[in-house]
Amino acid sequence: MIRYSEIPHKQAREIVLLKGGPCVWGRCAFCDYIQDNDPDPAACARLNREVLAQVTGKYGALEVINSASVFELPRETLCDIRRVAREKGINRLFFECYWSYRDRLDEIRSFFGLPVVFKCGIETFDGDFRNRVLKKGIVFQSPDEVARYFDSVCLLVGVKGQTREMIDRDIEILQSRFRYGCINLFQNNATPIRRDEALVQWFCEKYQYLQDDPRIDVLLENTDFGVGGKQDAR
Ligand code: SF4
């Protein structure tokens, strides 16, 4: 699997896809990438060290994803990330984090001593769709509550059962309340959740301008960040 890449546009950064322990939630109906989780911290740390060795620091920013939350990375890997950040002059980090860790984000900030952008997979601000269909297990009173903790949210677009109105509202909330965002167009995977092609088509036409918004990443494919795909056979 490709685990290192660069995102040269928008918030320019290097990105690594590391391995960590099982996602603390692990029950989202659309998620099959937790198959990359590994309960063996020593094995994860070994692999992660090899991946981190590719980081050059060329953008001064590094995003770390691990098909779970930063809190599920082995301690050894957190130390390696901190060492690499110091050695390579990285001054900004991006991590993924599930909602249930929202009161612990300062632990990560103080461990690294750097500005950190935390990305939370909210998927949609429609509570019924988020929890009944997508099974996110995330309950909050208002988008402002989410924004109090997270600088960035990930939204999922193009799932059967989702409506245009839901998506319009999600995009409006993202743009008005969050510094950054990431929109993932759903692709069929090993789960029973299905993609709505007509909805994806509609979104791509209506929201094409988001491709030029420096604050928002739009991933047409899961692998658009350059990681997660298969290495070419050589
Ligand atoms: S919180 Fe994220 S990694 Fe965990 S099951 Fe849900 S989508 Fe997958």
Domain boundaries, the chain: 4-219
Q: What is the pLDDT of residue 179?
A: 97
- Chain Cα centroid distance, residue 30: 14
For ligand 1, atom 4, the nearest C-alpha belongs to: 26
Q: What is the CATH number of domain 4-219?
A: 3.20.20.70
- Give the global pTM: 0.95
Q: What is the pLDDT of residue 97?
A: 98
Q: What is the pLDDT of residue 234?
A: 38
Alpha carbon of 22 to ligand 1 centroid (Å): 9
Residue 118 and residue 166: Cα distance in Å, rounded? 24
Residue 140 and residue 114: Cα distance in Å, rounded? 28
Closest CA to 207 of 230, 174, 229: 174
Angle between helices 75-88 and 105-112 (to 10 degrees): 50
Asked if residue 50 lies in contact with residue 2, where contact means CB atoms within 8 angstroms, the answer is: no
DSSP state for residue 37 in the 8-state scheme: -
Which one of 17, 18, 28, 139 would you pick to mutate in the ligand 1 pocket, going by the greatest count of ligand atoms within 8 A of its CB? 28
pLDDT tens profile 6-41: 999 889 999 999 999 999 999 999 999 899 999 999
Q: What is the pLDDT of residue 232?
A: 60
Q: Does the Cβ of 98 fall within 6 Å of ligand 1? A: yes
**What CA dihedral angle connects 185, 187, 191 and 194, to 10 degrees?**
80
Length in residues, the chain? 234
For ligand 1, atom 6, the nearest C-alpha belongs to: 28
Residue 29 and residue 59: Cα distance in Å, rounded? 35
In which residue ranges of the chain is pLDDT below 70?
Answer: 232-234
Residue 8 and residue 126: Cα distance in Å, rounded? 32
Alpha carbon of 25 to ligand 1 centroid (Å): 6
Angle between helices 164-177 and 197-206 (to 10 degrees): 40
Closest CA to 63 of 90, 34, 45: 90
Q: What is the pLDDT of residue 233?
A: 47
